[in-house]
Amino acid sequence: MESLLSVNTVASLLLGISLSAACGLRLFLPFLMLSFAADIGHIGLPADLSWLSSDQALLMLGIASAVEIIGYYIPVIDNILDPIALPLATIAGTFVTASTLPEMNSIAQWTLAAIVGGGSAGLIKSTTSISRIGSTILSGGLGNFIISTLEWLGASGLVVLALTLPALAGVFTVALLLFIVYKVWPKITKRFFSTTSPS
């Protein structure tokens, strides 16, 4: 229990929750930026993520990030990508959070990672997916350009903040998640039930 409440664990969770939220905005971009930061020696990676610092990983993640970003600017394709990206973002959020945690019991490590990392990425991804659907309905897809731009810019900014000021990034991300849970989702569910209830 002591290890779960240690300062190092809290700091690692703040870093992990920020990176996982970024994965909810763009799946490959956070890993690309981590790869670049490791490649130039800005950060050290744990052993299980050492492959990220290789030139091959940097190249492949660069291509994947470019394809993903461009894909979200193509009408219809953007809405197809969302349901595919949701489970992948949840997995990526779990993985990246687990990799930031200090040495602890593996059950505790992956349980925390799934709740904090996977939950954060899944919440962010599902919220942006619903926003994109609403934008498609209201604007015929024309407004999706703005959402897509904000997503990859937000992912980039969040990763940069997490790598430079992880505590601040974590506090910001927690505040954002609480806002989504208590302000955004109640409105979404209320609108959904109002449109599906019989008149």
pLDDT digits (tens, 9 = 90+) for 2-45: 444 577 778 888 888 999 999 999 999 999 998 888 888 877 77
Q: What is the pLDDT of residues 127-139, one digit of tens each?
A: 999 999 888 888 8
Lowest mean pLDDT among 34-43, 76-85, 99-108, 138-147: 99-108
- Phi, psi angle pair for 82, to nearest 5°: -60, -50
Read off the pLDDT of each residue in 76-101 and give the average, rounded to a whole number.
Answer: 90
Residue 12 or 173, more confident: 173
Whole-number Å distance between alpha carbons of 108 and 5: 12
pLDDT of residue 198: 52
* Residues with Cβ within 8 Å of residue 133, at least 6 apart in sequence: 79, 82
pLDDT of residue 197: 52
Read off the pLDDT of each residue in 104-132 and give the average, rounded to a whole number.
Answer: 90
Whole-number Å distance between alpha carbons of 16 and 19: 5
Among the listed residues 165, 131, 172, the one whose alpha carbon sits nearest the alpha carbon of residue 148: 131
Among the listed residues 158, 175, 188, the one whose alpha carbon sits nearest the alpha carbon of residue 34: 158
Tokens 């208590």 label which residue?
Answer: 182
Helix, strand and coil in the chain, % to nearest 5: 85, 0, 15
Among the listed residues 118, 128, 135, the one whose alpha carbon sits nearest the alpha carbon of residue 153: 128
Q: Where are the domains of the chain?
A: 3-189
* Residues with Cβ within 8 Å of residue 30, at least 6 apart in sequence: 19, 22, 23, 92, 96, 155, 158, 159
pLDDT of residue 3: 46
